[in-house]
Homo-oligomer: A and B are copies of this chain.
Amino acid sequence: MTHLPDWLQQQAAAAPDRPALIAADTIWSFGALAGAADRLARTLREAGAQAGAPVALLAANRPVFAAAVHAVARCGVTLAPLNTRLNPHELRWQLEDLGAQVLLHDAAYHDLAAASTPAGVRLLALDESPPPPPSSPPLLLNLAAIHTLIYTSGTTGTPKAAQLSYGNHWWSAVGSALNLGVHADDRWLAVLPLFHVGGLAILMRSVIYGMPVVLHERFDPAAINRAIDEQGVTIISVVATMLQRMLAERGDRPYPAQLRCVLLGGGPAPRHLLEACAARNIPVVQTYGMTETASQAVTLAPADALRKLGSAGRPLLPLQVRIDAGHTAPEQVGEIYVRGPLVTAGYRNRPVPLHDGWLATGDLGYLDSEGYLYVVDRRDDLIISGGENVYPAEVEAVLQSHPAVQEAGVVGLADAAWGMVPVAFVAAEPDHALDQQELIAFARNRLAGYKVPRQIVVLAEALPRTAAGKLRRNLLRRRLTELLPLDNTGEVDK
C-alpha cells in the first residue's frame, strides 16, 4: 500500500507563490490553494462530514472547485462532482444514489443546488474569498483510497458512479507526463468541465507537476484564443467542436510556438479538422479515454495524426489494451478491454466490472499490426443489419464529409426484414441546404449498401451531446421512436 506526501502540500512547500490557478478575475498560488483546501476541510469537519462518506459538489470552473478537490484528502471524504447541466430531477437521483450528506456549491449554482437537494442533505456554500495561509499538518495520501466518484456520462444506460482512487489519478498524471512530456513553463488551459474526468485530470496534473492551470468557465473561442496568445498556454484539452470553432474564430493567424499540445478527446476527429490543423502546424494529440481510466488511456502523437488517421493511437505506458474478438488476429474488431493502475476498481454500490483486472470499456475497436488502437464505436450503438455490423461512427464520418453536413448521428431502427437498419440524423452547415436524396446517393457511392441510411432526418438544431462532447445516440434513438412512423422520403433499397 503506497503512500505519498500530499501533492498540493509538496508544491505549496516547494513554490508557495507559483500560480496554481489562473481564472478571469483571480489568481491562486499553490500556497493559496493549499490554504483554501485546508479552510474547506475545516468547514467540512465542522459540518460533520464522516470519513469515507461522499461529499457532492456543484460548481463552475473556478478556483474554489480545486479547493474542494484537495479538501477531501484533508478530511478523508470522497468527492462526487456533479454535472451542472443536469436538471434538479437528475441531480436529486444522483444525490440519493450516493447517499451524500453534504452538497457543496458555489455562488453560481446556489439555486440549482437548492432545487436539487433531497431532504437530509446539507447545503454548504463554498468560500470564494481569498484563502488564508495553509494550516494542515503534513499529510500522506494512500494511493488505494478512493478520491472521486464520477457518474459516467452515460451515452446509454443508467448513470453509475465510477470510483477513482488517488492512485488512479496519480498514474493517469504520470502516464500523461511520460507521453506528452513535462516542461517547466507548461500551463494547461482547462475549459472542459471540471466535473468531468477530462477537466478534473488537469487539476490533478497541476498539483502533481507543479503546473499552473488557466481556468475558463465557459467555452468562448475568442477568449480561448486570446488566452493562448497572452497567458502562455502550452497545452489545451478540447473536443472536436471546440477546436473547429477556435480555428474558425482564429482565421489565418498562427498560434504561438509555445502551444505545444492540443489534446483532442471526446470521440473521433473529422479528417478535415486534422488536415486543417496539420496545415497550420497545430500539434494535435488525439486521445481516447474515459471516466474509468481517470482520463487519457490511448493517445496519438501529432506525427502520426494523418499517417494513422482514425486511430486513437497507442496506450499510455502504464496501460494494457486488448481486443476481445474471440481470437487474436490483428485488425479484428471486438470489445476494447483495458487493465492497469489507472483503471477504476469499480463503481460505487455496483458489482465490480473487472475480470482479472481487465475492464470492458463497452467500446468496439481493433489494434493494427503496429499496436495502434482504432475505436470503431460503442458496443451498445452497434447496428447489426442482416447479420452485418454497421458502425454508426463510420457512416457518420461519411455523411460529415459532405460539404453541407455539419454533424451526423446514426442509430438503428428495428426492421422486420433485416433486424435493424441504419437511420441518420443530420444538421446542416450554416447557409447550406440539405437534400436527403442527394445525401443518400453520396453515401451509397462511399459505403456498402447495408451501411447506407434508410432514412435521413434533418434537424434544425445541433445534435444532442454530453458535456464532454460525446454524441448521445440514446437520445437520437428515443427521438426516432417519437418520429415513427417515418415518412418515406429517404428510404433506400439495400
Enumerate chain A interface residues (CB-CB to B < 8 A): 2-5, 7, 10, 13-14, 140, 174, 177-178, 181-184, 208-210, 314-315, 317-320, 340-341, 370-371
Bound complex: CA A317 to CA B174 (Å) = 12
Cβ–Cβ < 8 Å partners of A140 in chain B = 320
27 residue pairs of the A-B complex, CB under 8 angstroms, read A2-B341, A4-B317, A4-B318, A4-B340, A4-B341, A5-B318, A5-B319, A5-B320, A7-B317, A13-B314, A13-B371, A14-B314, A14-B371, A140-B320, A174-B174, A177-B178, A177-B182, A178-B182, A178-B208, A178-B209, A178-B210, A181-B181, A181-B182, A181-B184, A182-B182, A183-B183, A208-B317
Cβ–Cβ < 8 Å partners of A319 in chain B = 5
Cβ–Cβ < 8 Å partners of A317 in chain B = 4-5, 7, 10, 208
Sorted from nearest, which 6 A-B pairs have the closest CB atoms?
Answer: A181-B182, A2-B341, A13-B371, A182-B182, A174-B174, A4-B318
Distance in Å: Cβ of A32 to nearest Cβ of chain B? 17
Cβ–Cβ < 8 Å partners of A177 in chain B = 174, 177-178, 182
Cβ–Cβ < 8 Å partners of A340 in chain B = 3-4
Cβ–Cβ < 8 Å partners of A174 in chain B = 174, 177-178
Bound complex: CA A488 to CA B379 (Å) = 89
Distance in Å: Cβ of A171 to nearest Cβ of chain B? 9
Q: A207's closest neighbor in chain B, by CB?
A: B317
Looking at chain A's contact residues, the main secondary structure is: mixed
Bound complex: CA A177 to CA B178 (Å) = 8
Cβ–Cβ < 8 Å partners of A7 in chain B = 317
Distance in Å: Cβ of A152 to nearest Cβ of chain B? 24
Contact indicator A181/B183 (Cβ below 8 Å) = yes
Cβ–Cβ < 8 Å partners of A2 in chain B = 341
Q: A138's closest neighbor in chain B, by CB?
A: B320
Bound complex: CA A57 to CA B350 (Å) = 51
Distance in Å: Cβ of A192 to nearest Cβ of chain B? 23
Distance in Å: Cβ of A304 to nearest Cβ of chain B? 10
Cβ–Cβ < 8 Å partners of A181 in chain B = 181-184
Partner of A370, one of B13, B208, B314, B370: B13
Q: A182's closest neighbor in chain B, by CB?
A: B181
Distance in Å: Cβ of A264 to nearest Cβ of chain B? 18
Bound complex: CA A370 to CA B341 (Å) = 33
Distance in Å: Cβ of A448 to nearest Cβ of chain B? 32
Bound complex: CA A7 to CA B178 (Å) = 12
Bound complex: CA A361 to CA B315 (Å) = 38
Q: A340's closest neighbor in chain B, by CB?
A: B4
Q: A318's closest neighbor in chain B, by CB?
A: B4
Distance in Å: Cβ of A471 to nearest Cβ of chain B? 30
Bound complex: CA A315 to CA B4 (Å) = 12
Bound complex: CA A182 to CA B183 (Å) = 7
Cβ–Cβ < 8 Å partners of A10 in chain B = 317
Bound complex: CA A159 to CA B340 (Å) = 37
Distance in Å: Cβ of A297 to nearest Cβ of chain B? 13
Bound complex: CA A442 to CA B3 (Å) = 49
Cβ–Cβ < 8 Å partners of A14 in chain B = 314, 371
Q: Which of A174, A177, A370 has the most CB of B within 10 A?
A: A174
